[in-house]
């Protein structure tokens, strides 16, 4: 059973910990505010009692004032602190120093783009990360991903979604949206070297575009890492264009006295 760490013991945080604990997970909950942390388990117990759920689930919740202790053995870490971008970025930077490489990091943010929160994380380009579009369903259906599992139907201005509970809702495109106002590719290329941009990627001039400071951010400071191997970034099936070196004869490569034996074996 995956181990959970919840960062933030406020209104959302203690509720998230409650749901995981009720599902049978061991949960560590952390908060830098002592009053939030000290009351977290009592609030969870009260919620379970009011809902008629098993109050023993609170025994699976462990409160800790040490962030490293909360996340070190976790398989899944969910952040539920204030909606403050610098705070979340700083927090995830600290979390990343203590978790295992395979640990999943998640945020309970409502309005801040997840891509902004994850900027600067060392491993944010690794793995099978799939960006998602989420809509806040009208009528209280919660946040629903716009993906095949949830999308029932769509027209040129509306989508029909169903959440995991079976709640079905419609979501309208903004009335002031005009497709004609959308940005269009003009096909113009910048003349400066290294400025071909996305068109250069499409045409095979380069494999990637690095933002300024990218290499420094992701440098392992002397540690030999597989991503530093230049051979990893050679396009498969695309050579340098230079003619291949001619194969040397057996007599040139074999030690004296062995050439004839090698030739006999080859024949």
Q: Are strands 134-137 and 142-145 parallel, antiparallel or unpaired?
A: antiparallel
Q: How far apart are CA 177 and CA 233, in angstroms?
A: 41
* Under 8 Å between Cβ of 51 and 25: no
CA angle 26, 27, 31 (to 5 degrees): 165
Residue 149, pLDDT > 60, answer yes
Distance CA 49, CA 41 (A): 12
The Cα–Cα gap between 189 and 198 comes to 10
pLDDT, tens digit (0-9, with 9 covering 90-100), for 175-185: 777 767 766 66
Lowest mean pLDDT among 73-82, 92-101, 136-145: 136-145
Whose tokens are 């891509």? That residue is 115
Compute the distance between CA of residue 70 and CA of residue 31 in angstroms, rounded to an integer. 10
Q: Domain locations in the chain?
A: 4-117, 134-180, 185-241
* pLDDT tens-digit map of 13-22: 999 999 999 9
Q: How many alpha carbons lie under 13 Å from residue 120 in its C-beta half-sphere?
A: 14
Residues near 208 by Cβ (< 8 Å), separated by ≥ 6? 201, 233
Q: What is the pLDDT of residue 247?
A: 44
Kindly report the CATH class assigned to 4-117.
alpha beta
Tokens of 56: 């023993």
CB-neighbour burial class of residue 102 (10 A; exposed 0-12, middle 13-18, buried 19+)? exposed
């Amino acid at each position: 059973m995956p181990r959970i760490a919840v960062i933030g013991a406020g209104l959302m945080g203690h509720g998230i910990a409650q749901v995981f604990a009720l599902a049978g997970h061991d949960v560590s909950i952390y908060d830098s505010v002592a009053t939030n942390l000290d009351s977290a388990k009592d609030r969870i117990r009260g919620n379970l009692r009011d809902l008629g759920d098993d109050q023993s689930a609170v025994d699976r919740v462990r409160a800790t004032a040490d962030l490293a202790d909360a996340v070190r053995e976790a398989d899944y870490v969910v952040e539920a602190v204030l909606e403050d971008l610098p705070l979340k970025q700083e927090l995830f930077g600290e979390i990343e120093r203590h978790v295992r490489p395979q640990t999943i990091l998640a945020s309970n943010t409502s309005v801040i783009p997840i891509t902004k929160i994850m900027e600067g994380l060392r491993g944010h380009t690794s793995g099978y990360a799939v960006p998602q579009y989420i809509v806040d369903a009208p009528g209280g259906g919660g946040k629903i991903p716009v993906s095949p599992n949830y999308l029932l139907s769509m027209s040129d201005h509306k989508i029909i979604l169903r959440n995991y509970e079976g709640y079905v809702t419609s979501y309208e495109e903004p009335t002031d949206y005009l497709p004609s106002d959308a940005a269009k590719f003009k096909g113009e290329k910048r003349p400066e070297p290294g400025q071909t941009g996305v068109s250069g990627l499409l045409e095979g001039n380069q494999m990637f575009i690095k933002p300024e400071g990218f290499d420094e951010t992701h440098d392992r400071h002397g540690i030999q890492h597989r991503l530093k191997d230049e051979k990893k970034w050679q396009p498969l099936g695309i050579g340098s264009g230079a003619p291949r070196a001619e194969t040397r004869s057996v007599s040139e490569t074999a030690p004296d006295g062995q050439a004839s034996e090698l030739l006999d074996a080859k024949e």
